Each structure stands twice: as C-alpha cells, then as structure tokens.
Structure 1
C-alpha cells in the first residue's frame, strides 16, 4: 500500500496538458472579453476588496448589483460588469485616483496574456479496446489518452453505442508517438456532486462532507490502437493495420501513406422536368443519404453510419473498409451508403 510521502521533493518540475474548448469555455471567454477588466493598485499599498469595490462604484456611479469584484492574480482584482456601457466607461479612464489618494489601474481581460500561441497539426484516429460500457464517454477518453491530447470528437456509432467492438475517437495531438499503446483505466465510486454555481451562498453547505472510508474502484486493461494519422501541414494521411487483443507493433504493422485530398462536394444530378418519376426517386435517394450524412453537413464532422458490418474473427486485421478512400462518384457513394460501412470524414482520405 502506498504511504504518505514525508516530503514532496519528488514531484515533477513541469507538466503539459491540453483540452479542446467546450461550449461553456467559449461562452465564458466571450463574456469575460466583453464585460471584464483586471485592476491593480498603485504605489499606495495593499487595498481591501471591499474598499476597492466601494471606490469603483462611487467613481463610475455603478449600482451594486451591476458589478462583481473578486480577488485576482497576478493583478489584484477581477471585475465583471452586467452592462457593457459600464465596461467601456472604465476603460476610457484606465487610471483612477480617489479623493483619499488611492490609485488604481485598469486594462481589459485578454485570453492571450501570459499565453503562447501553438498550432496542433496532427489529427489521429484511435480505436480503443477494453473501455467498459458504462465508461464510454468523451471525458473518459480524455483521461485515458493523456494530458498531451485533446478529443476532437467521438465517432457517431461509438457515441450512440451502435457498435461496441472498440471505442473510436479522433484526437488532436502534437506528437503522435506519445500516444500510449496500452493503459490501465480505473473508475472509482461516485462522489457527491457540487451545487450549481448559480446557487446563492446562503443556501450552500459550509463544506463538502469528509470521506469516512477509502475510495474503491475497478481497474480495466486497455489497448489503444492508432488507426490513422493526418498531418494537416504536410498534407498526408497514413493508415495503419492492427489486430484485436494485441498492442500495436511498428515492426509488423503495415502502413500506407497517401496525400490528404481536399473535400469536394458531390455534384448535383441533372434534373429533367420530363422525367418526374426518376426525379422523385432521385430525391428519395438523396434524402436517405442526407439522413445518414447529417454529421457531415454540420461542421464537417464524420458522416459515420449508425451501424457497422460484423467484424467476424477478432484475430484478423482491422476491416478492409476502415479507411476506404471516399469517392466523389455518385454511384460509389450510394453503394457505400447501402453497405452501411464506415464513411470518411470530409477533408480526409480513407484507404
């Protein structure tokens, strides 16, 4: 059993973590960019939070309910306004000196401050074996693949649990060689959830209940297969072959490399007013195809089918239809739709 360390000198000096911005992250970024400023004091010394809040409300004639002031670092205060006009009024006078001689400075909150711009140009498709049915979520994959990756999206058939042989997901990563071949994944017992952030403070419990026993869980063995790699800078695509139940081995895995072709929409068929019957059949065919390609029409996501053909022997190579090149020919495209095989995502070349 692990013991509590007497000191923490063995902690790593530096770590790296990456995540994809969620809808909530984007909402907060938009809010803080439009309504928030940071502030710090001059040479006068430290100022209490309540004193600073009173000074700014008095100077700019802002109602108490229209402003939120909190402590912040590395600046002293973080201010969020309910009205955009108050936000602009403060930034028009970025220096405030009160009658008592206290001096404050203001600047807009900026997500780029203290940040370094990066470009993630590798996109990798993973097929993960061993995730238990109740743990097949995007959050679980983000934990499993490590902090240096971020989830792009989960294939639709995996997200809907229509095919559960593997859990297939696309990720963004700077170095595909850092993806582990296998992992041990632990799911612990459920913790009490925190109250929503919009709950008033008087209605909150003073603290979370302390645990009364050890936390239990179950650990599952995982195998992580690299199915394909896209380099969006060099514009190439590499597809790999792997076997069920075996970790990937570069010495035996065959690799096929192709240039990454841009997505070309299918041409619209010729429409003849004198052939109404064929016209109606064509419309019905396109409607069936569009229903299967809904995700490809929104945001360029994969138009993966809701079902896949039976995989058969688990010891054979991954199916031949993994990575089939998408054709712009209408007949071939319809044939793929009828076979319900995995489809390529717009912008990717399937082998």
Structure 2
C-alpha cells in the first residue's frame, strides 16, 4: 500500500460554499434552458451527436442553438441557448427519428441535493494570514472545510493583528486549531512566490511553495441546538430561543488550549531601541556605583563564608536572622518588554512576589498593561 491508494484516502470531507446572487442566477438559467431524458431508445452506435441532430431537425434550429453532452446520472444533458426553444422542446416532450425515441423532462438543480441544518455559530480570529492575502476568497478557503462564512468584522485600516469573523459550523470541535496556508506557482500567468529554476521540465515535476502558519482561535461559541427540538416554534417565535454562549480565551501565536507557560514562536521579545537605552544610562548616574557596591558585597560575602548583604546578581541574601531584600532598581528589566503576541502572562502575575528565601515583598510600581489574552 502506497500513498494515493484508495485505502489511504479519507472517506469524506465537507466544503462550505457561501451562496451568492451570481450562483442563484446561474441555477435559474440552467433550469430554464436544460432538459434531460427520462425514457429513450437508441440504436447501436447512436450517441449525443445523433440526439442533437434530431432536435435541430424537429425544432428547426441552427447548429449552436442546442448542445447535447454525455452526463451522469442521466445519460445525456440537453442545454438550449434560448429559454423559448427549451420551453417548446419541453412542451412537445417526445422526439423520434432515425431509430431514436427520446422523452424529455426539465432538469432540476435540487434533484440530488440533501438537506442540512447547522446549529452552531462561532466567532473566529484568524491569526497569521499575511496582509497581502487579506481577501474574502482566502478567508473562505482557510475556513471552508469546517465553517460557512457569515460576515467579517475586521477593520483593516486600523487593526491588522488578526481577521475577526462570524461563521456557522456543524461541530465546533471539528474546527482545526492551526492550518497551513500554502502559496504555489502557477505557470499559466507566470506567477511564482519563489524563483528556483527556469527549466520547464523541472517545474512540471515538482512545486516550490511557501506556507504560512495560520491559527484559528475560537472566541465565542453560540449553541442553537435547543431550537432543533421544536423547529416550527423556533421559526414562528425566534425570540423564545436564546443561544447558549460560551466564551474562550486565546493568545496570539499559540494553539488554543496551550499551556500557560507556552510562548509564541516569533516575535518572542523585541529589544528597546539603542537610543532609549543610552538615555536611561544618562538618567542613572549612580548605576555604576551600585554595581561596584554589589561586587564589593559579593567579595565580602565570600570572605565571611556566604553571609553578605546582597548577592552580586541583585537577589536577597540572609545575614544572621535578618534577610536583606532585593534592590529596587532590580525590580524589572528595563531593556525588555512583553510583546502582545508572546502570551501576556507576565502582565498578569501577582503584584506580590516571593523571593528564593520565602520573603514576601510588595511591588513598588504597577504592572504594565500589555494584554495579549482575549476573551470572545
């Protein structure tokens, strides 16, 4: 068994395609201009061209006014260019000639369709789609296997962190947490994301692609399954059926449900600009003096056998029965900050910290208001 064998392929998949005015117009046009046989007799060797010739002769039409193609499950599909010609052929119903006898009926768009109801509405946040691909077509491709797009809420001129949308789904648990958006090469219009070789023979044997990691975050799930027990009542009085709303937390660059200590792949941290660091050095003329004192305390600590005021790294140390706290200038790192996509758990740590020796110390200033965790 190798890749591509029937036993290696999935049994089924669902693709959601939002209906549109153009699709409905085309469906109506096909129903008005298309017929299929419901009973017929053909001599051996007769086919679509013979049926087309019979219709052209009996209806006094010119070539190009009607097309007959081999079809499935009906054996033939008869498409007229003019709805009036189709109506005349449907009125006559039966055509005979050259040993052919065929009975026609109207083609129906919904003859093989099955009904389906969807009772879950979800608010999705697409995190990771490149900005040049922010189009409704790309969004529908990303979520189309599990969701039907309802509307897009994102205001792109002011917020390009994620794409915010509402969609319908048969089962929220089937929505993947991550998808890979792959851009391929199209030889017909000579478009390529990466130029690897100009040899046409190699381009026909393999594809050089680029893929982007896209996270699908679920912010809110609205459950309408209660309406399925009384559909007639839900239709006549929709206000009586309120959905069950379940909000969820999510973080940029991480799978939904990731551990609290998890961090996004990139960017993890961004350094402060060099000019800001230089200004802060100038604002602290005593910083070098503090470092000298720390080194001196560490040396004295080694002389006294490990019981100095402070350790050289700025942590609290124990001297006899007294515990010296950390210096206030070591409270936070001034050269780093928490990126909004990193996880945001540092901004939600308790305002009270415990030192390595169990000392309880209150913060001397408020935590930063950088929140990358979202609800709903």
- After TM superposition, the score normalised by the length of structure 1 is 0.60
Report the CA distance shift for 1:6/1:243 in structure 2 as closer, same or farther (over 3 A): closer
Write out per-residue CA displacement over residues 206-264 of structure 1, whole angstroms, 9 at most, x where no aligned residue.
Answer: xxx99445211112222211122334545315233322233222999xxxxxxxxxxxx
Out of 185, 205, 217, the position equivalent to 2:209 is 217
Report the alpha carbon displacement of residue 313 of structure 1 after superposing the two structures with TM: 4.0
2:207 aligned counterpart, secondary structure: coil
Partner of 2:242: 235
Aligned to 2:188: 192
Say whether the 8 Å CA contact 1:182–1:223 is kept in structure 2. Answer: yes
2:70 corresponds in structure 1 to: 71
Whether the 8 Å contact between 1:144 and 1:185 is mirrored in structure 2 is: yes
Structure 1 residues 164 and 135: CA distance shift in structure 2, 3 A: same
1:27-176 aligned at under 5 Å gives the runs 27-39=25-37, 42-45=40-43, 47-98=46-97, 100-155=98-153, 157-158=155-156, 161-176=157-172
Partner of 1:340: none
Give the whole-Å Cα distance in 1 for the aligned partners of 2:114 and 2:4.
36
Output the CA distance in 1 between the equivalents of 2:37 and 2:80. Answer: 13
Q: Give the SS at the match of 2:251.
A: coil
Residues 92-141 of structure 1: per-residue CA shift (max 9 Å, x gap): 2222222x231112111111112111122322221011111122222322
| Residues in 1 aligned to 2:180 and 2:39: alpha-carbon distance in whole angstroms | 50
The more displaced of 134-143 and 173-182 is 134-143
SS of 1:242's equivalent in the other structure is strand
Q: Write the distance in 2 (CA, Å) between the matches of 1:188 and 1:31.
A: 35
- Secondary structure of the residue aligned to 1:229 is strand
User: How many corresponding residue pairs?
Assistant: 242
Higher relative contact order, structure no. (Cα contacts within 8 Å, ≥ 6 residues apart): 1
Gaps of 5+ in 1: 195-208, 253-311, 318-349
The residue number in structure 1 matching 2:293 is: none
Q: Summarize the Cα distance change of 1:56–1:216 in structure 2 as closer, same or farther, 3 Å threshold.
A: same
Specify the SS of the correspondent of 2:64. helix
Q: In the TM superposition, what is the alpha-carbon distance from 1:145 to its structure 2 partner?
A: 2.5
Deviation larger for 107-116 or 229-238: 229-238
Coordinate RMSD, CA, aligned: 3.3
Larger-Rg structure: 2
CA contact (8 A) 1:124 1:172 kept: yes
TM-score normalised by the chain length of structure 2: 0.56
